[in-house]
Chain A
Amino acid sequence: MLSLLKISDALSAFVVAIGRLASWLFVPLAAIIMIDVVWRVWVGSNPALTSSWFHRNIGSTKLQEMEWHLHAALFLLAIGFTYLKDGHVRVEIVRERMRPRLRAWIELLGCLLFVLTYCYILLDFGIDFAQRSYRTNEISNAMTGLSERWIIKSMLPLCFVLLALSAISVALRHLVYLFGPPELRRRSGQFVEVDHLAEMKQETEEEIAAYQAALRKNETGRAKGP
C-alpha cells in the first residue's frame, strides 16, 4: 500500500512540475501581446519602420499566432495539474453531506470510468491528429504565419497523457484510502477529507491579516514620525 502511495506521489510530482513550469507561460504571453500592440501603434506613427527587419521577419501575424499557441499550451498543460491541485469545479451541494468514504469511492470510480475513458479516446485520435500534421509538414494558412504546426497540435495528446497520469495518481491515492491501513489515511485523503470552503476561507483570511498587519505597521510608523 505504501508503495502505491509512493507511485501516486511520483506521478503527481511529475505532472505538478510540468504544470508549474507551464504556468510561467503567462509572462511571455502578456509580453508578446504588449509588444504586438506597441509595435502596431509605433509603426502606425512611423511608416518607415515597415521596412525594418522586425516588421518583415516577425510582424503582427507571427506574434498573434504565437499568442494563441502560448494560450493553448498553457491551458492544455494545466488541466491535469489543476486536477491534482483539486481546482476543477465540483458541485458541492450534495457532496458536502457525504461521508469521506463515499467521496473516495466516487473519486476512484470517476477516475477509472470517466477520466481514463475520456483520455483513451482523445489519445487514440489525438496522437493521430498530431502525427498527421507532422507528416504533412503543416504550416500556417497565413503567408507570414508560423511554421511547424505539429508542435502545438501535439500539445493536445500531451494534455491527455498528463491528465491520465493525474487520474492514475488520484485513483491510487483513493485505493489506498479505501483499502489501506488507517495510518496512511491522512496522507491519502487530501481530496476527500478537505472542506473546500474552509480551505478557501483560511487562505483569504491569512491574506487579509497580512494586509492589515502591513497597514498597522504603516500607521504606527507615521504616528512616530515628525
Chain B
Amino acid sequence: MTFLEILPLLMFGTLALFIFTGYPVAFVLGGVGLGFALFGDLIGEFRYMQFFSLPLRIYGGTMENMVLVAIPMFIFMGTMLEKSRVAEDLLYTLQILTRRLPGGLALSVTIMGTILAATTGIIGASVVLMTLMALPVMIQRGYSIPLATGTIAASGTLGILIPPSIMLVIMADLLSISVGDLFVGAVIPGFMLSGFYLLYILGIGLVRPAAAPPLPADVGPDSHGELAILVIRSFIPPVLLIVFVLGSIFGGFATPTEAAGVGAVGATLLALANGRLTYRTLREVCVRSAVTGGMLFGIFIGATCFSFVFKSLHGDRTIIDLVQSIGLGPWGVLIALMALVFVLGFFFDWIEITLIVLPVFAPIVALLDFGAHIPVRTDVLYWFAILLAVNLQTSFLTPPFGFALFYMKGVAPPEVRIQDIYRGIVPFVLLQLIGLGLVMAFPELTLWLPRVLLN
C-alpha cells in the first residue's frame, strides 16, 4: 500500500486518538477532518478550493432535509414527556397493575422501557433516568440487585430500537432508505426482545420468588374504581399518544416528520391536561431540546466535514479495495462490520457510531448480495439497519465496558457493586444475542411487516 492509500486510514487513527482526550466529538471530527485536508493541500492531494462544496454538502445534507426535521420534534416530544413526569406516572401505575404478578416491579420497568422508548433515546440520559427512578424502589422492595440492574439497563437501552427512534431516523437518512419502512421493520424485532425480557423476568419470579418479591397488597388505591381512574389518567394518554404517532406513520397518513410534529404538540397538550405545563416548563423543555439538538447536529456537521475530506482523499475507494482484497464475501463483510460496531459500542453512544461509521461503510453495504437469503436487493439495507440497531444495543450492555453499564454504575446507590451489575446483565445479553441471531437467520422478522402493512 502506498502512503496515499494509508492516509485515509490514518485519519481514522488520528480521530480515535483525539476522541479519547474527552474533547467534544463534534469538534474533533471537524478539526481532524479539516486538518487532514490542509495536510493534503500541502502534499498536493487536496486543493484548498475544494472546500467550496463543503457548505453545499452541509446545506443539502442537514439543513434542506425534510426527513431530519423529525429529529428535533421527537426530541421535543421526549423531553416534554419526561419533564411533565409522564414516566413517573407510568411506572407508578404499572407497578400497581402488576403488583400480583411474580416479578411485577421488574415487569413494569420493562413495559415502561418499551412504551417510553419514545423518549429521546440518548442512551446515557435514559439509563440515568431509569436507574434513579426504579433502582432504589426495587432494592427497597427486596429485589435481587443483579436482577434489578439487569432489567433496568436492558429496558433503558431498548429505546434506540423501538420506534419512534431518533437513531432509526438517522440510519434511514444515511442509508437513503425510508424512515417509515424502517420504523415498521423495527417493530417485530423490538417487541420480540421486550417479550424475551418479560418472559425471563416472569420465569425468575416463578422459580426464585425471593429474587423478585411482589409488592405489599396495600400499595396503591383500594377500590377498582380508583384504580380505573389511575389507569385512565396516567396510562392511557401517553400510550394513546405513541400509538397515534406510530399509527399515522404505519397507516400511511403522515410522514415521520409530520407524525413527530403532531406528537410534539400532543405531548404538550398532555402536559397541559396534567396541569404541568407552565411557562417555566415550556422554556426548560425548549432549552433542553435545543441543547440535545445542537449536540446531535454538531456531530452531524462534524461528520459531514470528516467524511467529505475522507472521500476527497479517496478513502471510500481504499475501504472498498481493502474489503475486497480480504475477500470476505457478503457474510464475512457483514460479520466484520458487526464486530467493529460492537467494539465501538463499548466506548461511544450510537450518535457517534452511526454518524461516523455509516457514511463510510454504506457504499459497501449497498453492494452486498445475500442471494436467496434476501431475494430483494433493496431489502438488504433495512435488514442491515435493524441488525446494526440490535447489535449496538447489545454492545451497550456487554461487560466489562458496555456504555450503559458505565452510566448505571455512575448513578446507582453505593451498595450496588459493579460485579452485581455485570452478573445481572449476562442473561439479558444472552437474550439479545438470541434475538440478533434470529433476525440474522430469519430476515422476514424485519421484512415481513413493512411488506404487508405498507404495500
Contact = CB atoms under 8 A, between A and B. Distances in A.
Task: Report if A and B associate in a common complex.
Answer: yes
Interface of A: 19-20, 22-24, 26-27, 29-34, 36-37, 64, 67-68, 71-72, 74-76, 78-79, 81-83, 85, 87-95, 98, 103, 106-107, 110, 113-115, 117-118, 121-122, 124-126, 129, 152-153, 155-156, 197-198, 200-201, 204-205, 207-208, 211, 215
Q: Which of B55, B85, B254, B351 has the most CB of A within 10 A?
A: B55
A106 B287 CA distance: 27
Given A90-B23, A106-B23, A200-B411, A27 B352 contact: no
Interface of B: 18-28, 30-32, 34-35, 38, 51-52, 54-56, 58-59, 62-66, 68-69, 72-73, 76, 85, 88, 92, 124-125, 128-129, 132-133, 254, 257-258, 260-262, 264-265, 268, 282-283, 285-287, 289-299, 301-302, 305, 347-349, 351-352, 401, 406-407, 410-411
Q: When A and B form their complex, which 10 residue pairs have the shortest distance between CB atoms, in order from nearest?
A: A33-B261, A95-B22, A114-B31, A82-B294, A78-B294, A88-B24, A23-B290, A72-B63, A197-B410, A75-B297
Given A33-B73, A87-B291, A93-B20, A204 B128 contact: yes
Nearest to B58: A156
8 contacts: A26-B289, A30-B73, A82-B294, A89-B25, A110-B27, A115-B30, A129-B56, A200-B128
B258 A33 contact: yes
Given A34-B265, A91-B348, A129-B59, A72 B292 contact: no
Given A68-B65, A126-B55, A197-B410, A205 B132 contact: yes
Given A81-B290, A94-B21, A208 B299 contact: no
Contacts of B128: 197, 200-201, 204
B286 A23 contact: yes
Contacts of A29: 69, 72-73, 261
Nearest to A71: B69
A87 B351 CA distance: 14
Contacts of B268: 30
A197 B412 CA distance: 11
Contact of B257 (A33, A74, A82, A126): A33
Contacts of A78: 290-291, 293-294, 297
B298 A91 contact: no
A153 B60 CA distance: 11
B411 A89 contact: no
